[in-house]
Structure 1
Amino acid sequence: MDSKSSILRIENFHSTHLDNKRDIFVYLPPSYRYEKDKYYPVLYMHDGQNIFHPAFNGYSWHVNETVDRLIQNHTMEEIIVVGIPNMGAERSDEFTHEMEGILHQSDKVQIKPKGHLYEAFIIDELKPYVDSVFRTLSDPDHTALMGSSRGGQVTYHIGFRRPDIFGKLAIISPYFYCVDPLTLEETPVYHAFSKKQSISKIWIDLGGCEGTLVMEKHVREVAEKLLDLGYEADNELIYFNDPGAEHTEKDWALRLSSPLIHFFGKKGKECSLSLHGSEEVGLTGPQCRLNPILVFESGFQMSLLRTTYEVEDHRILDVLNDGTMIPIKEGETSVTVKYQDLEATKSIRVVNAQKERVTLEMVVHVPANTPEDIKIYAWFPLMNNRGNDTYSNQLQVPLHAEFAYQISREDGSVEVDHTGKPIQRKYKALSDSKIEIKVEHWS
């Protein structure tokens, strides 16, 4: 008996609402072929061309591999996964709703919002087709929606607009604010809903190394607003701040199992607790929040939104139950977080002052054969210093922000080593600094 999963391609699926066509990918679980009377929950995923297959950057979510593994380990039930590819240049339009609070006019790209049409395409055209062709459990309790970046933004909006369709939402590294990398001007691109909906499970996360593209304060802002609407912390609403994770498919793939288990599986027993976050906070300066991460036997990970902290010396520091540190006077003390029989401790220094932003100066030396006047980027544009083969710029960076970046050219070439392998660099904003980079080779 063949007990392997399979991936089907539905070619040129037409949308009347959007007047376009795209292929649709459908993952069918191992038992689908032979258990003819069995019906399955369905997970719909945006950017579907990247979830089973490599993206333009060579990375994939490897959704089929993760789902196969969790099913084989009896960690989650069998599901159907529907991948909805984006339409390239139309992605930003389709993933943006025209709603109060979404200031798309100030976004970094020109947008003509088609979010309502994309929503109608999924609900009125794609889902009825999937439910008619495949053996699905079609009610909201068995229907989930997942997306990352702008796909996280559109998941949030579609999900809270249509809880009668989607009862489970996975909002991955969501693009809730547009932040100008040079001016740091912040523009909201999400709508704040005013009423709790009948959504049974919400997952919302981000990586700690997404720079100003996705910032912890913005994602946490939305999570806190959802808690204010009445969603139960650490149960109905699960939040995860993944330290060191970048804004790429490879890192989304690494934490994919957690939202899948939240929706369709069993977490098992708690097995470890760790405490992350800044080790230093200023009497004046940016607000700092601790990040307690709870890990389960199944591999499920989450950041505790609400818990109890014990501070050794309350004359120096206090910590709220949401992890916010309240500095009182200069000094050093330990903070302990507890969850049932588990605990973790971290030493925190309180200093007089911290700057909200640090100054970064970057100088990039390029090969002599670099085309004249071509534009060069880190995560921000660099200016050509004519006559000496260097590009440079200076900017302000939020304290503690972490970036993973490449030195790249506007024609798509990137910095590579002598073997042709792309070089990826990291930067964390801790103090004023100057970075000098010598590019030996372009791809």
Structure 2
Amino acid sequence: MKRAFAILLAASALAGEASAQEAAPTVKEDFKPSSLNQPGQEYPQVNSQGYVRFRIPAPEARNVKVSLGLGGRGGTVLAKADDGTWTGTTAGPLDEGFHYYRLTVDGGTFNDPGTLNFYGSTRWESGIEIPAHDAEFYALRAVPHGNVQQVLFPSPSTGTQRRAFVYTPPNYEKNAGARFPVLYLQHGWGEDETAWANQGHANLIMDNLIAAGKSRPFIIVMTYGMTNDIRPGSPGGLASFDIRPFQTVLMDELIPFIDREFRTLADPRHRAMAGLSMGGFETKLIAPTRLDKFAYIGLFSGGTFSLDDVDKVAGYRDKVKLTFVSFGSRELENGGMVGPPGMQKADPRANAEALKRAGLNSVFYVSPNTGHEFLTWRRSLREFAPLLFRD
């Protein structure tokens, strides 16, 4: 299970670069500043085909490279101009959606001063957004908006005050007598509790779904899923990760805090857990063992549930109202199988169908033309949310 974290995330580091290797006959010169640029910054730029052009001021540098994806693998080598700036364009178009990237300047790792930073790979990374054809579902639109607030909660098990971000739906403040279901939504490896709101636009996805009448309003809680010290570097650091301390934080500290401080419906039929990548593995390890707390389970690029998994959990068939599994289409290109090398691979689609034939509410979703990346997970949340808490 731990090795699977590393394999999935190593693949994600290559996702953006892999698409960039697809040859295109002509690069259109209709580049525009990225939507994630810092105010007043012209670069990086994106064209209508999904190519990205970078320009970095570094007059004393000897070489500059841009690397895309978690971990910053691969790279676009930039060329120096007479004015001391370094410019380069990706070899091919990138997949639609959000991508991390970093600069390598004379062997040192830096962020692009032209764009905003997002926490990933256990560090703040630069970010680029390739406009998606279906971006309306996570766009900032003229609809009623919920609120995302930071909360600090005591954690006796870790001896700290820990942080979570809580989304409350648009009618939470106005309807003071109402209580709401809760989704506990986990980030991926190397990310933190800011990821789902910043990179994932979870709040905007929910605002738009609720405004369209497609989802029941509910609270989302996002907290840091790492409780032991994972050093920056390769995903191999996950070998030291232990789920038990985080399970204590979640079950014994955070959930009781949320139920005290917010107007929740504090029973399993109104509580869900889901996560992307490592957060999906955390969900699979925790939620089925605590069916007294969770009735809805979602894995976004975070593994699969087989009929054998279900049969090992007493009460799963009766108590779990939804088992949701999703992947990006590029993650399933190897015959639809997922799993680390050297270990038995599983077919998540076949597993989902087996659960459905056995009478469980099993939903399998594939995001078209995406890999282990945030557009996959944005779309997964869009598909998952309307299925929750349907009394």
Structure 1 length as normaliser, TM-score?
Answer: 0.46
Equivalent residues in 2 for 1:33-72, closer than 5 Å: 33-47=173-187, 48-53=193-198, 60-72=199-211
Measured in 2, the distance between the counterparts of 1:51 and 1:133 equals: 21
8 Å CA contact retained: 2:267, 2:293: yes
2:380 counterpart (237, 250, 255): 255
Residue number in structure 2 paired with 1:5: 146
Task: Give the unaligned 5+ runs of structure 1.
Answer: 54-59, 93-106, 177-189, 267-443
C-alpha separation between the residues in 2 aligned to 1:166 and 1:236?
15
Q: Give the distance between the partners of 1:86 and 1:6, measured in 2 at CA.
A: 22
**Aligned twin of 2:156:** 16
Report matched runs for 1:103-182 at 5 Å: 108-109=236-237, 111-175=239-303
Which whole-Å CA distance do the structure 1 matches of 2:356 and 2:170 have between them?
Answer: 34
What SS does structure 2 have at the residue aligned with 1:238? strand
Secondary structure of the corresponding residue to residue 210 of structure 1? helix
**Structure-2 change in CA distance of 1:212 and 1:18 (3 Å):** farther
Q: Give the superposition deviation at 1:255.
A: 3.2
Could you give the per-residue CA deviations for residues 179-219 of structure 1, whole angstroms, max 9, x where no partner exists?
Answer: xxxxxxxxxxx978624512111110111223799963448
Matched ranges for 1:312-351 at <5 A: none
2:246 partner SS: helix
| Residues 1:205 and 2:326 are matched in the alignment | yes
Q: Secondary structure of 1:45's match? A: strand
Q: For 1:34-88, what per-residue CA distance to the aligned partner results, in whole angstroms no more than 9, with x for missing partners?
A: 21110000011112311112xxxxxx11011010011111111110111113449
Identical aligned pairs, as a percentage?
A: 23
Following the alignment from structure 2 to structure 1, what is the Cα–Cα distance between the partners of residues 310 and 360? 21
Task: Rate the CA distance shift 1:88–1:254 in 2: closer, same or farther, 3 A.
Answer: farther
Residue 203 and residue 254 in structure 1: after superposition, are their counterparts in 2 closer, same or farther (change >3 A)? same
Q: CA deviation at 1:250?
A: 2.8
Distance (whole Å) between structure 2 residues aligned to residue 62 and residue 263 of structure 1: 18
1:240, distance to aligned residue in structure 2 (A): 1.6
Tell whether 2:159 aligns with 1:31.
no
Q: In the TM superposition, what whole-angstrom CA distance separates every residue of 1:340-393 from its partner, at most 9, and x where no partner exists?
A: xxxxxxxxxxxxxxxxxxxxxxxxxxxxxxxxxxxxxxxxxxxxxxxxxxxxxx
d(CA) in 1 for partners of 2:338, 2:219: 34
TM-score scaled by structure 2? 0.52
SS of 1:136's partner is coil
CA distance in 2, matches of 1:215, 1:108: 25
- Going from structure 1 to structure 2, the CA distance change for 1:123 and 1:231 (only over 3 Å counts) comes to farther
Note the alpha carbon deviations across 1:100-124, whole angstroms, 9 max, x for none. Answer: xxxxxxx843523421221121111
Cα distance between partner residues in 2 of 1:4 and 1:226: 34
Larger Rg: 1
CA distance in 1, matches of 2:265, 2:166: 15
Query: Which structure features the higher share of helix residues?
Result: 2
Paired residue type of 1:49? T
Contact 2:215 2:385 in 1 (8 A): yes
- Secondary structure at the aligned position of 1:146 is classed as strand
2:64 matched residue in structure 1: none
Whether the aligned pair in 1 keeps the contact of 2:352 and 2:364 (CA below 8 Å) is no
What secondary structure is seen at the aligned counterpart in 2 of 1:255? helix
The residue that corresponds to 1:194 in the other structure is 312
Query: What is the DSSP-based 3-state SS (H/G/I as helix, E as strand, rest coil) of the residue aligned with 2:195?
Result: coil
Check the 8 A contact 2:180/2:263 in 1, yes or no: yes
Answer whether contact 1:22 1:87 (CA < 8 A) is retained. Answer: no
Residue 15 of structure 1 and its aligned partner are, at CA, apart by 2.1
Q: Which runs of 5+ in 2 are unaligned?
A: 1-142, 188-192, 340-344
Choose which of 371, 377, 383 in structure 2 pairs with 1:246: 371
**DSSP-derived class of the 2:388 partner:** helix
Structure having the larger proportion of residues in strand:
1
Amino acid aligned to 1:15: S
